[in-house]
């Protein structure tokens, strides 16, 4: 049997979904009362649901569909690969052409000092790999006390035990009794929400010095690594003040700990360079990748490893007891290779830097004039709108955090645009192929949605 698409009417699909399907990050009780929206096909930046509505995918799926939906070229490459060699492992001294070719390609795209890759199937697994790799590195270097990993509150590094632990989502920590020992969280560089009376740059320096204080308090000899997203995605597109990353670089250059850039969202062109680390000049020792690597056509992740870490881990000999059945999966590697080929051929990364990026940013930032918007920010093609009850006072937030965001998100969906709500901010991260006309549609629909949200809030007494 082939996979069913919309062979059932929408109501039947919703009922079966409610009966049998447990969704990620969902309140299944309320979801099942409302019913899921069923997406049946997609092309470019447009989704179609089971009722035939067309909706713009303002989130590129989940931050991943860089080249847009429906690329037959990727499907064809995967089909060819599956006919040739659908699966073989990369354990036990074996490899295969797609894994070899993709590794060479990634080494070419990565910063000059990063030339190796370890494969897995997701961003979460990439960070599980990071977790074990940085500790094993220091063991190999004869410094077994260096074990603590420093990360940030409201960071997101996945949903497995290590991913959740490294992440700074308190609601996630509360389920499963996490984090595991040996992870230390510091504050995030979220000026709009936490900067108080400080200027963005003064706040950025202060937030960066949290890292310095943490390393010194824990003892440099006990710290293995610092992990961070160049721009926090799931935390609400937290774009750090300009002073933040230079100060972090200064602190790291004076201390002997590893730096891990979680590039799962910022990698593969999202910020107008191949990696967020290139955009901010981060010089990472390890880079977690996933999402845009395959544009989501098949699941694949990896850890890009610098020459220094690879040498420390492997030069003395001995096995790194780690790997996944699907590490380097040939069909996924074929999807990744074709995806990267499309990105290069169509110049999608430069397009974000020089064309659609600046075009959308200017229009998005103009939404800051709306009475509901406290800040409209965007770097590359990832942006956020902070919804506030009082434009004049950044420190005032809506009661019942998340309720206003959800109202706005639902209206946006009805209006034909997927925006995601994080707390009471609205997030977008569209495919990198977004055209100018589509960008105009995106901003016009966001504006209409803000107007309607404002009217609802006014009517229901949320605003003075």
What is the distance between the alpha carbons of residues 262 and 304, in angstroms, rounded to a whole number? 10
Residue 373 CB, nearest approach to ligand PLP (Å): 24
Question: Applying CB under 6 A, does 290 fall inside the site for ligand PLP?
Answer: yes
Kindly determine how many residues on this chain lie close enough to bind ligand PLP according to the rule CB under 6 A. 16
Q: Looking at beta carbons only, is 233 or 383 nearer to ligand PLP?
A: 233
Q: Are 257 and 220 in contact (CB under 8 A)?
A: yes
Cis upstream peptide for 197 (omega within 30°): no
Which positions from 186 to 225 touch ligand PLP by CB under 6 A, shown as an x/- string? ----------------------------------------
* 119 or 156: CB nearest ligand PLP: 156
What is the DSSP code string of 265-309? TTTTTTTSSSSHHHHHT---SEEEE-GGGTTTSS--EEEEEEHHH
Residue number with CB closer to ligand PLP (122 or 140): 122
Q: What does the alpha-carbon distance between residue 286 and residue 303 come to, in Å, rounded to a whole number?
A: 7
> Are the beta carbons of 237 and 382 closer than 8 angstroms?
yes
Q: Of these, 68, 233, 312, 431, which contacts ligand PLP (CB under 6 A)?
A: 233
For ligand PLP, which stretch binds (CB under 6 A), given 91-99, 140-148, 196-204, 227-235? Answer: 227-235
CA dist 355 → 13, 51, 117 (Å)? 41, 34, 31
- 3-state secondary structure at position 33: helix
Q: Compose the 101-130 pattern: x for residues touching ligand PLP by CB under 6 A, - for all others.
A: ---------------------xxx--x---
* From 57, 262, 386, 424, residue interacting with ligand PLP (rule: CB under 6 A): 262
Please report, as residue ranges, which positions from 291 to 320 form the binding site for ligand PLP (by CB under 6 A).
301
SS3 content of the chain, % helix, strand, coil (to 5): 45, 15, 40
* 264 makes contact with ligand PLP (CB under 6 A): yes
Q: Locate 90 and state its tokens.
A: 């990369």
Q: Is beta strand 46-49 parallel, antiparallel or unpaired with respect to 183-186?
A: unpaired
> Residues 151 to 190: which contact ligand PLP by CB under 6 A?
156-158
- Taking CB under 6 A as the rule, does residue 229 contact ligand PLP? yes
Question: Which of 106, 265, 336, 434 is the binder for ligand PLP (CB under 6 A)?
Answer: 265
Taking phi first (over 0 means left), then psi (-120 to 50 degrees means alpha), and beta for anything else, what does residue 387 get?
beta
Residue number with CB closer to ligand PLP (63 or 398): 63
Q: How far is the CB of 289 from ligand PLP (least distance, A)?
A: 9
Residues forming the site for ligand PLP (CB under 6 A): 63, 122-124, 127, 156-158, 229, 233-234, 262, 264-265, 290, 301
């Amino acid at each position: 049997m082939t996979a069913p698409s919309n062979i059932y009417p929408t109501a039947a699909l919703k009922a079966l979904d409610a009966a049998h399907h447990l969704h990620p990050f969902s309140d299944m009780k309320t979801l099942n009362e409302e019913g899921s929206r069923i997406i049946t096909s997609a092309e470019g930046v447009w989704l179609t649901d089971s009722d035939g509505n067309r909706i713009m995918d303002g989130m590129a799926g989940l931050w991943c569909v860089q080249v847009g939906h429906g690329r037959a070229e990727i499907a064809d490459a995967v089909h060819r690969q599956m006919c040739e060699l659908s699966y073989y492992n990369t354990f036990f001294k074996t490899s295969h052409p797609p894994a070899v070719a993709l590794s060479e390609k990634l080494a070419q795209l990565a910063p000059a000092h990063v030339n190796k890759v370890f494969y897995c199937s997701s961003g979460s697994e990439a960070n599980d790999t990071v977790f074990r790799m940085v500790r094993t590195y220091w063991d190999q270097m004869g410094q077994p006390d260096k074990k603590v990993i420093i990360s940030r509150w409201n960071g997101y590094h996945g949903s497995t035990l290590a991913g959740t632990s490294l992440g700074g989502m308190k609601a996630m920590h509360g389920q499963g009794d996490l984090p595991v020992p040996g992870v230390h969280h510091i504050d995030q560089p979220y000026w709009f929400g936490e900067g108080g009376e400080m200027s963005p740059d003064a706040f950025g320096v202060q937030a960066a010095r949290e890292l310095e204080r943490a390393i010194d308090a824990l003892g440099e000899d006990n710290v293995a690594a610092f992990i961070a997203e160049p721009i926090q995605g799931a935390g609400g597109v937290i774009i750090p003040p300009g002073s933040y990353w230079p100060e972090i670089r200064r602190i790291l250059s004076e201390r002997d700990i590893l730096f891990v850039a979680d590039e799962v969202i910022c990698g593969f062109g999202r910020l107008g360079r191949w990696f967020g680390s290139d955009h901010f000049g981060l010089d990472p020792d390890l880079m977690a990748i996933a999402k845009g690597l395959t544009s989501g056509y098949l699941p694949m992740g990896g850890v890009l490893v610098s020459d220094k870490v690879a040498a420390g881990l492997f030069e003395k000999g001995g096995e790194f007891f780690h790997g996944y059945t699907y590490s380097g999966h040939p069909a996924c590697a074929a999807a990744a290779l074709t995806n990267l080929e499309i990105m290069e051929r169509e110049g999608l990364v430069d397009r974000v830097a020089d064309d659609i990026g600046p075009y959308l940013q200017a229009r998005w930032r103009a939404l800051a004039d709306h009475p509901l918007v406290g800040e409209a920010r965007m770097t590359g093609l990832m942006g956020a709108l902070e919804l506030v009850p009082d434009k004049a006072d950044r420190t005032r937030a809506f009661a019942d955090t998340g309720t206003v965001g959800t109202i706005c998100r639902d209206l946006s969906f009805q209006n034909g645009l997927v925006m995601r709500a994080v707390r009471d901010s609205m997030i977008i991260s569209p495919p990198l192929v977004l055209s100018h006309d589509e960008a105009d549609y995106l901003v016009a629909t966001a504006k209409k949605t803000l107007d309607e949200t404002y009217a609802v809030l006014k009517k229901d007494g949320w605003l003075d």
